[in-house]
């Protein structure tokens, strides 16, 4: 059984509060770049995971894929990225179970890998860091959303979310 530590991500300040609750609990989501976002940490046995839910707020818009190259396709698009710092460090690459599709924005002549309609949950395996402030972690999110007919929304780059983790036992 997975135990979830819900960590509230407040916009701009990034302050957080810990609530022990059931699976998939998330508090105080924020919105930026036309995408609703919530961030939490889950503990599965000895494994820790940062989970970030991203959902375009407008119909027909899709979040760019983790597989989109760093420079986009012909300079168009921004790849989705998640990283952790402070009290947490990644132990592997970010993944998602969301299914990809190809987006062909009108008039641009490019094929962009995006995720299908709906919410995308990014999962980043992490570990707690020895020493320093073991209770404060920062998660950085980079993402954007695009539509075939309505263009692309302003991207969000390295949006910081500060999380307060429970003290170690």
Question: Is the model more confident about 148 or about 18?
Answer: 148
Q: Which pLDDT does position 169 carry in this prediction? A: 53
Task: Say if residue 92's pLDDT is above 80.
Answer: yes
Separation between Cα atoms, residue 60 and residue 81, nearest integer Å: 21
Separation between Cα atoms, residue 138 and residue 169, nearest integer Å: 21
Give ∠ CA 51-52-54 in degrees, rounded to 5: 150
- Judge whether 160 lies within some domain: yes
Helix H or strand E segment including 60: none
- Judge whether 169 lies within some domain: no
Q: Which pLDDT does position 126 carry in this prediction? A: 92
The answer to whether 142 and 155 are in contact (CB under 8 A) is yes
- What average pLDDT score do residues 132-151 get? 87
Please count the structural domains in the chain: 1
Q: Which pLDDT does position 167 carry in this prediction? A: 65
- Judge whether 147 lies within some domain: yes
- Judge whether 87 lies within some domain: yes
- Judge whether 24 lies within some domain: yes
Question: Looking at residue 125, which CATH number applies to its domain?
Answer: 2.60.40.1250
Task: Say if residue 131's pLDDT is above 60.
Answer: yes
Task: Say if residue 79's pLDDT is above 70.
Answer: yes
Separation between Cα atoms, residue 31 and residue 11, nearest integer Å: 8
Of the pLDDT bands very low, low, confident and very high (cuts 50, 70, 90), residue 132 is: low
- Per residue in 58-70, pLDDT (tens digit) is 999 999 999 999 9
Determine how many CB atoms are found less than 10 A away from the CB of residue 101.
13
- What average pLDDT score do residues 114-136 get? 87
Structural domain for 109, as ranges: 3-164
- DSSP SS3 for 54: strand
Q: Which range, of 13-27, 31-45, 55-69, 143-157, averages the lowest pLDDT?
A: 13-27
């Amino acid at each position: 059984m997975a135990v979830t530590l819900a960590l509230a991500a407040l916009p701009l300040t990034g302050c957080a509060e810990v609530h022990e609750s059931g699976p998939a609990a998330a508090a105080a989501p924020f919105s930026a770049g036309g995408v609703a976002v919530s961030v939490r940490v889950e503990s599965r046995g000895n494994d820790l995971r940062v989970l970030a839910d991203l959902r375009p707020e407008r119909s027909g818009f899709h979040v760019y894929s983790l597989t989109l190259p760093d420079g986009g396709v012909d300079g168009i698009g921004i790849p989705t990225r998640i990283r952790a710092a402070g009290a947490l460090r990644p132990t592997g690459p970010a993944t998602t179970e969301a299914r990809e599709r190809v987006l062909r924005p009108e008039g641009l002549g490019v094929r962009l890998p995006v995720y299908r309609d709906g919410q995308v949950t990014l999962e980043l395996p992490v570990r707690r860091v020895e020493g320093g402030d073991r209770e404060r972690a920062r998660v950085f999110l980079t993402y954007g959303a695009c539509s075939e007919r309505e263009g692309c929304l302003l991207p969000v780059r390295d949006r910081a979310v500060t999380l307060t983790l429970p003290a170690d036992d």
